[in-house]
Structure 1
Amino acid sequence: MSQNKLESVAALRIQDWAEEDRPREKLLKKGMASLMDAELLAVLVGSGTRDMSVVVLAQHILKANGNSLQELAKRSVQELQRFKGIGAAKSIAIACAMELTRRRTYEIGNKREAIDCSSKAYTLLRPDLTDKLIEESWILLLNRANYLIKKIKLSSGGTSATVMDPRLVFSRS
């Protein structure tokens, strides 16, 4: 395809697409599973730029993150705003969708469970620690029956360590 043809396709507005190819309409007719990651992201973003359709913008964002949703989930609101066409509102929407996904994936549910082993503590803290680029220190406050009272982030550090001061532990509990 020639460069001019590629540019005209990229600039083509979603309204100019065949109805069955538009992400929202495709979702309604064929279901969520019919959409590619870029189309799902495009629905979330909502609109593109004058030079780029929302789907092409979403493809560009995914490509910049190695076509990996895991990598995309690590991006901060400020990093997402570096893409032309992604302002504060759109970057916040993407970050919130990634956070909801993270929480849903590791949600324990309404069932209250005793934290009586390290794997249960890990499951409880995993949503708070997933996709972090820096080390963090957390404590779990448990009652005598090992049920969670509260979880508290004590400190954040660098990429390989964080300092945990015992005074912080006792002052927060």
Structure 2
Amino acid sequence: MYRPRPIHQWPEGERPRERLLAHGVAVLSDAELIGVLLGHGTAGCDAVATGRVLLTQAGSLGRLLADPDHLPRVNGVGPAKRARIIAALELARRSLGEGLAELPRIESPAESAAYFRARLRHLPHEVFAVLFLDTRHRVLAYEELFRGTIDGASVYPREVVRACLRHHASAVILAHNHPSGVAEPSRADRDITRVLVEALGLMDIRVLDHLVIGHGDPVSMADLGLL
């Protein structure tokens, strides 16, 4: 009967950690990278195989990244390994925000669209997020203000105004995801955008765009003439 060998018994040129150090991270698959984080697996299931199980149960690497607090329960991944993976995924999430914060300013709609897509596309629930900008469109902060179910999120204009005042924002870019993958703005999306434009306008805060994030390219309400 065939029994899988633990990774330390693999030929050195096939071991994920040794390949990573010799050739760089690009040569490793997602499962192999998770295997390096795990360190070792269990009897009959090496670390790379365990990584594959994690990815299969999560649905994709993006879903692992989007919601590390709900890491799938997998045999052989106890509290220590779970903490290690959650910490690594959270570092990846934070690096997205750090990269954006280093931008001197938002130069084009494509920059904000790419950022929101990376942050929101894989989430299984709807999230309403805001980029807060100064008068020169430099990034002040990013916040996920409201979370909902797959059916939608309740957005309260008063809370958006408060967040803008807290960050001393002069302009904002709004975004929310459609977990269904269809990025077409709904009637509710159009209505809340109109309400927010009016509410923030009273405070001299401009809404530059409202992006809807689905499986394809983000849809810009500004491009659709809905602002």
Length-normalised TM-score, structure 1: 0.72
Matched, 1:53 2:36: no
Residue from 69, 73, 77 that aligns with 2:65: 73
1:136-151 counterparts in 2 under 5 A?
136-151=127-142
Listed as ranges, the gaps of 5+ residues in structure 1 are: none
1:15-54 counterparts in 2 under 5 A?
15-54=8-47
Aligned length in residues: 163
TM-superposed CA distance for 1:124, in Å, is 4.6
TM-superposed CA distance for 1:58, in Å, is 1.8
TM-superposed CA distance for 1:28, in Å, is 2.8
1:14 aligned residue: 7
Q: Verify the 8 A CA contact 1:14 1:53 in the aligned structure 2.
A: yes
1:113 aligned residue: 105
Identity of aligned residues (%): 29
TM-superposed CA distance for 1:167, in Å, is 2.0
1:76-95 counterparts in 2 under 5 A?
76-80=68-72, 82-95=73-86
Q: Distance in 2 between matches of 1:109 and 1:167?
A: 25
CA displacement, residues 73-107 of structure 1 (integer Å, 9 cap, x when unaligned): 34543332x10111233234334444544565683
Length-normalised TM-score, structure 2: 0.58
Q: Verify the 8 A CA contact 2:38 2:81 in the aligned structure 1.
A: yes
SS in 2 for 1:20: helix
Q: Verify the 8 A CA contact 2:128 2:153 in the aligned structure 1.
A: yes
Amino acid across the alignment from 2:25: M
TM-superposed CA distance for 1:158, in Å, is 1.4
Larger relative helix fraction:
1
Listed as ranges, the gaps of 5+ residues in structure 2 are: 166-227
43-52 or 117-126, which deviates more: 117-126
Amino acid across the alignment from 1:15: H
Q: Verify the 8 A CA contact 1:77 1:91 in the aligned structure 2.
A: no
Q: Distance in 1 between matches of 2:52 and 2:131?
A: 40
Return closer, same or farther for 1:146/1:91 CA change in 2, 3 Å cut-off.
Answer: same
Q: Distance in 1 between matches of 2:25 and 2:135?
A: 45
